[in-house]
Amino acid sequence: MERIGIKVKRMDSTTHIGSEIMKNKKPTMFEASKKVMGLMEELTARQIIVRLKDNGRKEVPTPRQLAQRFRTDKEIQVIKSKSKKDETIFLKIAE
């Protein structure tokens, strides 16, 4: 008896995960934070959070989370305050 079968080619619906081809993903909190900043605009972490909320973002980072992430980001320059009580200012220097 001969086996009769159909060769099934698997079609993956989740191709290119992790690449720029998938465009229907929501930006991360930090990507959205960088998008609300204008080029060469000085903002504090609280001002960025207010803009995120005004744009309808439900999940927003804390000021400390923003400061930690922006310190390592090459697109954003961190201007530290002279006293501990003043807020740190972030300056977006590249798109």
- What is the 3-state secondary structure of the chain? CCCCCCCCCCCCCCCCCCCCCCCCCCCCHHHHHHHCCCCCCEEEHHHHHHHHHHCCCCCCCCHHHHHHHHHHCCCEEEECCCCCCCCCEEEECCC
Instruction: State the average pLDDT for the chain.
Output: 83
Q: How far apart are CA 14 and CA 68, in angstroms?
A: 32
At 91 the pLDDT is 94
Domain ranges of the chain: 29-92
What is the pLDDT confidence band of residue 53, given thresholds at 50, 70 and 90?
Answer: very high
At 13 the pLDDT is 54
Q: What does the pLDDT average to over 15-36?
A: 75
Fold (topology level) of 29-92: Arc Repressor Mutant, subunit A (1.10.10)
Q: Is the pLDDT of residue 5 over 90?
A: no
At 10 the pLDDT is 59
